[in-house]
Structure 1
Amino acid sequence: MWAHSMTVQDYQDLIDRGWRRSGKYMYKPVMNQTCCPQYTIRCQPLQFQPSKSHKKVLKKMLKFLAKGEISKGHCEDEPMEPTVEDAVAGDFALITKLDAQCDLRTLSGDFRESLESEEKKKIKSSKKEESNELIQSQDIEEKLGSGEPSHSVKVHTVPKPGKGADLSKPPCRKAKEIRKERRRLKLMQQNPAGGLEGFQAQCEPPALFPAKAKSNQPKSLEDLIFESLPENASHKLEFTRFLCNSPLEAENPPNGPDCGYGSFHQQYWLDGKIIAVGVIDILPYCVSSVYLYYDPDYSFLSLGVYSALREIAFTRQLHEKTPQLSYYYMGFYIHSCPKMKYKGQYRPSDLLCPETYVWVPIEQCLPSLENFKYCRFNQDPEAVDEGRCKDPDRLQVFYRKAVMPYGVYKKQQRDPSEEAAVLQYAGLVGQACSERMLLFRS
């Protein structure tokens, strides 16, 4: 549908029912029919911790600003896509979390059989090696017992690569252990009587002066983004916001954010030159990312990832003034599309159930999405869409320069297809929006 004008609360309610906007064009995927279902995804910025690849992007930007040019050999095709190591780490974290809920019986038959056959091969291989070692040891004993020269018996065999340590060499020791041993021997030489006790006493912290605990707290997202640069930094990055053309009406309530609600262009200026623009909507409960476009000459800076992290930090900043504004919407998550799957790496995050419109942690959704493209995430079979349109007659229609409820409007219509279209609209937008928004009919 085309939105001529819309309040930020109406759009908030619409995106919480699976809608999105592109300019003034509003759309909602038909989830159970499309080849690639698009699930609305939101991140929880207040609990967000940047991953290893996120930190690399932020440090790369700081290094570029401080020192100038950096290697451009590792440009990312998808600006917001994480590295493989992050994806693997996320998968392992998910497997660990779901380990208590899954067993071999939940796997498909073919996959289970392949696992079992691999396990049998490993067992046979290990038994064969043990048998060879046993035969070899028996041969050695027979030779020794028969009186053959000992030099003809090779007691030590060099292990195969990856099969164990080389017994002809001393066992490896950590450098820390070696230093402790040297220190102990030195103390014993200096004081033979009490060297060992003195060494142990020095290793233990004094009771009256306990050692200060080292701070292992990771740097916050803000610390990583706003880390101070040297005075002679090679580049200067500026960040500005401007209102942009949008169907959303700008609002500035006293309890809202300082910049107000509405649609904004976040502009990234490098040394006076604009290199990227992020389009966002600031809504009552979230910052919604619309899209980002950037100068391809600066793709080596991973501007997609950088802008997403800046927007998450911006959401946290807005939350300080407006507590109910606490989510970051990233658009659609498409599990079957690698170019859209990366959004699931911004954790913690939730997916919107396409049938009941409740938010479900993404960890609970991924096992189902591995087997089915379209999924109902709400596990309660009795749950229904609480915001569904229950009384279509109260739907508001704008017809011939007049506002009227649908119950009045339908009495003036004789086209049977008109009712089907209006009822479909009511079902898609829900009862609350159908009573607040005006459906234009000519």
Structure 2
Amino acid sequence: MAEPVDAERARQLSLFRPLGASYYTSSVAVKPEHYGELIDRGWRRSGTLYYKQNLQRSCCPHYTLRLEASDFRPRRDQRKAINRWNKFVLGPEYMRKVARLSPRSRAEKKYRKCNFDLLAAVHEIEYENLKRPIDPGTKRALEPAHRFEVNIEGDSVSQAKFDLFLRYQMKVHQEDVSRWKIKDFQNFLCSGIKRSPASSTKKDGSEKKLGSWHQCYRLDGKLIAVAVLDLVPSGVSSVYVFYDPEYEQWEFGKLTALREIAFAIENQYSSYYMGYYIHSCQKMRYKGNYRPQYILDPESYAWDPLDGELSEKLDQKSYVSLSQDRASREGEDSKPTSALDPDVNEEELSLFDINMPGVLTRDEVKDLRLSQWYLLYHGTFVQMNDLVGWEDMPIDNPQSLRGIISELAAALGPSVVRNSAVVLFD
């Protein structure tokens, strides 16, 4: 279900929103499969606020990024980050004794020397997976230097998570933490998409997890990191990661990303979404180091490899649509490029007049038969054509109810419109 929001409400609700012009809506009842479709149309969320940026009207366009999980091959620096952390958790004494008491076979040593197994690397130091042979000297099972555990749980709020979040925001982002209350934290990172039974199953017959989850990292029983994940049928979407600054030297950004990719592979999610990619921002360029990455074309919604032609064009200009470039070269018709004056206030114009890439045209919206779209008002479902004067309302007037509903449909796309309802609040 979706509810249109105006720009002022968007500013109040969104704590972390993209720079530039964006279309906003809010919802507390988005299904995982619907959010998966929205991601593939350039949407992201912050709590219950959903937004889609107008890349042509933004100084720093935010491109949707997707990694094909099963094709991922970690770089040397990524492998090094895992190996360093693993050695820290296990400790030299444990590693030395296990090598002596429970040695690897020659074939296993040869394989590990020539290959890097991502799934094995992220799981082998988890306490429940450790080899713990009996130490002849103490007659006790060997213990690692640290007890490391990772579990995935619902996106619930807790004091431990909130305290960890405050330490992270204060040290890593230099924020004044007085702005954060536990309710703000809950709205931001504990108000995700609904967890629901999977519509598809894994090869072993078990159901996939869907919805919003927290992947929690604990060291010696202490919570040290939380990765906020949205799980949709097609993939794993990374929302946010926060960790104890005391462990910053261990490159937790890399560690959590690699573990999330491993989670996608072993649970048969085809894609891993790292969020928006801003080519002009050096702090965002690291996302391109997880390969092979694909960028969502803002106009055709095709996925283009980040490397090669696309990357070269992004070096030259901020807005790139390879589908539009190909159509122009071949003399085909394409949607017009926005010619609006940069100072024009988009809030005063219809979405159909600003040529926002990737939204439906007036004619395409008319084909959706919005008169039969359901509206939930005060607990009762009605169809749009039950509203007095619906047919007389102009579709391109952003101040009319039909205009607002039509813009929402244009931004959401036909599939979500067919399977959703609109909620109106007083």
TM bracket (short chain): 0.5 to 0.7
Q: CA deviation at 1:269?
A: 0.2
**2-side partners of 1:266 and 1:421: how far apart?**
38
SS at match of 2:321: coil
Q: Deviations over 1:136-176 (max 9, x none)?
A: xxxxxxxxxxxxxxxxxxxxxxxxxxxxxxxxxxxxxxxxx
- Counterparts of 2:224 and 2:289 in 1: how far apart (Å)? 25
Aligned to 2:123: 226
Partners of 1:32 and 1:372 lie apart in 2 by 11
Give the CA deviation at 1:262.
1.1
Of residues 223, 235, 253 in structure 1, which corresponds to 2:146? 235
Which TM-score applies when normalising by structure 1?
0.61
Q: Distance in 2 between matches of 1:31 and 1:410?
A: 36
Q: Could you tell me which amino acid in structure 2 is paired with residue 374 of structure 1?
A: Y
Counterpart code for 1:58: I
Give the letter for the 1:317 counterpart: E
CA drift of 1:441 comes to: 2.6
TM-align CA RMSD: 2.6
Stretches of structure 1 that go unaligned for 5 or more consecutive residues are: 70-213, 320-324
Correspondences of 1:28-43 after superposition (within 5 Å): 28-43=52-67
Do the aligned partners of residues 409 and 342 (structure 1) sit closer, same or farther apart at CA in structure 2, a change above 3 Å counting? farther
Task: Output the amino acid matched with 1:40.
Answer: T
1:355 is aligned to 2:299 = yes
Give the deviation of 1:351 after TM superposition: 0.5
Cα distance in 2 for residues equivalent to 1:366 and 1:408: 50
| d(CA) in 1 for partners of 2:393, 2:67 | 47
Q: Distance in 2 between matches of 1:31 and 1:37?
A: 5
Q: Of 26, 40, 62, which aligns to 1:16? A: 40
| 1:271 partnered with 2:216 | no
Query: Could you tell me how far apart the structure 2 residues matched to 1:392 and 1:32 are?
Result: 29
Indicate whether 1:367 and 2:312 are aligned.
yes
Q: Report how far residue 342 of structure 1 moved.
A: 0.9
C-alpha distance in structure 1 between counterparts of 2:65 and 2:199, whole Å: 29
Deviates more, 1:359-368 or 1:43-52: 359-368
2:175 aligned partner? none
- Of the candidates 403, 412, 418, which is equivalent to residue 429 of structure 1? 412
Secondary structure of the corresponding residue to residue 32 of structure 1: helix
Deviation at residue 298 of structure 1 after TM alignment: 0.7
Superposed CA deviations along residues 95-131 of structure 1, whole A, max 9, x for unmatched, are xxxxxxxxxxxxxxxxxxxxxxxxxxxxxxxxxxxxx
Q: 2:380 maps to which residue?
A: 402
1:28 aligned counterpart, secondary structure: strand
Equivalent residues of 1:7, 1:248 under 8 A apart: yes
Percent identity, aligned pairs only, is: 32
Displacement of 1:241 in angstroms is 1.1
Change (3 A) 1:376 1:404: farther
Verify the 8 A CA contact 1:49 1:220 in the aligned structure 2: no
1:279 Cα deviation (Å)?
0.6
Counterpart amino acid of 2:415? Answer: A
Residues 76-101 of structure 1, C-alpha deviation per residue, up to 9 Å, x if partnerless? xxxxxxxxxxxxxxxxxxxxxxxxxx
Q: Evaluate the alpha carbon distance shift between residue 258 and residue 353 of structure 1 in structure 2; reply closer, same or farther with a 3 A threshold.
A: same
Q: Report if the CA contact (8 A) 2:359-2:410 is conserved.
A: no
SS in 2 for 1:307: helix
Q: In structure 2, what is the Cα distance between the partners aligned to 1:254 and 1:20?
A: 22
Count of residues paired in the alignment: 293
For residues 259 and 295 of structure 1, the distance between their equivalents in structure 2, rounded to whole angstroms, comes to 30
Cα deviation, residue 12, structure 1: 0.7
- 2:423 paired residue number: 440
- 310-319 or 419-428, larger mean C-alpha shift: 419-428
Change (3 A) 1:254 1:24: closer
- Per-residue deviation at 1:436? 1.6
Provide the rounded CA distance (Å) in 1 between the counterparts of 2:242 and 2:218. Answer: 13
**Inter-CA distance 271–25: structure 2 relative to 1 (3 Å threshold):** same
What is the CA–CA distance in structure 2 between the aligned matches of 1:376 and 1:255, rounded to whole Å? 33
Letter in 2 for 1:300: Q
